[in-house]
Amino acid sequence: MNLVASDTRTALTEALKRRAREVEHALDVLLPLPDGQEKRLIEAMRYAVLGGGKRLRGFLVMETASLFSVAPACAARVAASVEMLHAYSLVHDDLPAMDDDDLRRGQPSCHRAFDEATAILAGDALLTRAFEVLVDSDTHSDSQARCELVAALGAAAGARGMVGGQMIDMVSEGTQLSAPEVTRLQALKTGRLIQYSAEAGAILGRAPPQQRHHIAAFGRDLGAAFQIADDILDAEGTEEEIGKTAGKDAAAGKATMVSIMGLEQARAHAAMLAAQAANYLASFGDRAAHLVALTDFVVSRRS
Ligand code: GRG
């Protein structure tokens, strides 16, 4: 790695840590404290969302919001909200009825640390809390902006987004999907929430349509590159590196870009998507430096 590339990577690592601290502080404040008869539920919610993770989605909200000079406290609420929704998806995905995984973020998954019923409820409560945070006037003074955030998150997470992608994934197990079919599946299951996270900053900042379009396109291509990188990690990463069971896609007969094109071509495809994502940020100049560096990070990460 040359010196400029190494400085850029160090600056990104610092920015990721700083943003993660801001998002985790917001999560801590926005989640209820464990007491009363609901104590166990709230403990499970906090376990699921405060127990690590890269905070990639929260980072995207914070960084795109900063392009439009949004108050960091408002952006942190939206970042915390998307991390709650993301944590719910992981809790439910790990359940025996879905992916049946005992390990998440290097720790026992929520249903292993608590129990299945509590994990289902914790996921439900995280999902609903995510929307409750968005509609609060502390998130944005303009109710139109709050409505747009709710509509965009609902669309990204629902039947034509993440949950729809999960369903397609389940019904396709053991079948040979084509590259366009895998692309669509992954765009729904993973891509839409990542795209939303990027776009949320533009919504908060009341960005003009052309800039919002560029941010959305950046998020879409970044999300696609991220998922292919995840498939590569599943194929060749260790359990210690990725903090979850490795090699699950091949064991389940899941079609991924790795199973379709092989490791090397999948790597090249992810790199092409990451470069394409970075190109959409050209008009923001140096203010988007962390986001540009992120496009490289998502395809070279080891966890
Ligand atoms: C069960 C409602 C429901 C939805 C499931 C997101 C999802 C849909 C399932 C999670 C399983 C999975 C492997 C999804 C692909 C997306 C992905 C790589 C999630 C993990 O995201 P990271 O790496 O996780 O950003 P951290 O822990 O860093 O937050």
Tell me the pLDDT tens digit for each residue of 193-245: 999 999 999 999 999 999 999 999 999 999 999 999 999 999 987 777 767 77
**Going by C-beta distance under 8 Å and a sequence separation of 6 or more, which residues neighbour residue 166?**
89, 93, 98, 189
Which DSSP helix (H) or strand (E) runs through 104? strand 103-104
Q: Which atom of ligand 1 is nearest to the CA of 226?
A: 18
Q: In angstroms, how far apart are the furthest CA atoms of the chain?
A: 56
Helices (H), 95-191: 110-113, 116-135, 143-157, 162-172, 179-186
What class does CATH assign to 3-300?
Answer: mainly alpha
Residue closest via CA to ligand 1's atom 2 equals 89
Distance 90 CA to ligand 1 centre (A): 5
SS3 helix, strand, coil % of the chain, rounded to 5?
A: 75, 0, 25
Atom of ligand 1 nearest to the CA of 52: 27
In the chain, domain spans = 3-300
Residue with tokens 């464990």: 34
Q: Judge if the beta carbon of residue 101 lies within 6 A of ligand 1.
A: no
SS3 (DSSP) at 103: strand
Residue located nearest, by CA, to atom 10 of ligand 1 = 90
Distances (CA, A) of 132 to 34, 219, 260, 299: 18, 24, 41, 33
Q: Which of 219, 241, 237, 233 is nearest to 294 (CA)?
A: 219
Distances (CA, A) of 250 to 254, 256, 260, 278: 6, 9, 11, 31
Whose alpha carbon is nearest atom 3 of ligand 1? Answer: 89
d(C-alpha 153, C-alpha 197), whole Å: 9
Question: What is the rounded CA–CA span in Å between residue 201 and residue 150?
Answer: 13
Higher pLDDT, 6 or 202: 202
Our mutation pick for probing the ligand 1 site, out of 16, 24, 89, counting the most ligand atoms within 8 A of Cβ, is 89
Quick: pLDDT tens for 140-194.
999 999 999 999 999 999 999 999 999 999 999 888 899 999 999 999 999 999 9
pTM: 0.94
Output the CA 224–ligand 1 centroid distance in Å: 13
Please give the C-alpha separations between residue 290 and each of 78, 86, 106, in angstroms, as whole numbers: 19, 22, 27
Q: Is 301 in the pocket of ligand 1 (CB under 6 A)?
A: no
Q: What's the CA-to-centroid distance between 280 and ligand 1, angstroms?
A: 25
Q: How far is the CA of 93 from the centre of ligand 1 (A)?
A: 8
Say if ligand 1 is within 6 A of residue 56 CB.
yes
Q: Where residue 1 falls among pLDDT bands split at 50, 70, 90?
A: low
For ligand 1, whether the C-beta of 207 sits within 6 Å is no
Q: Are 88 and 46 in contact (CB under 8 A)?
A: no
Indicate the average pLDDT of the chain: 94
CB of residue 92 inside a 6 A radius of ligand 1: yes
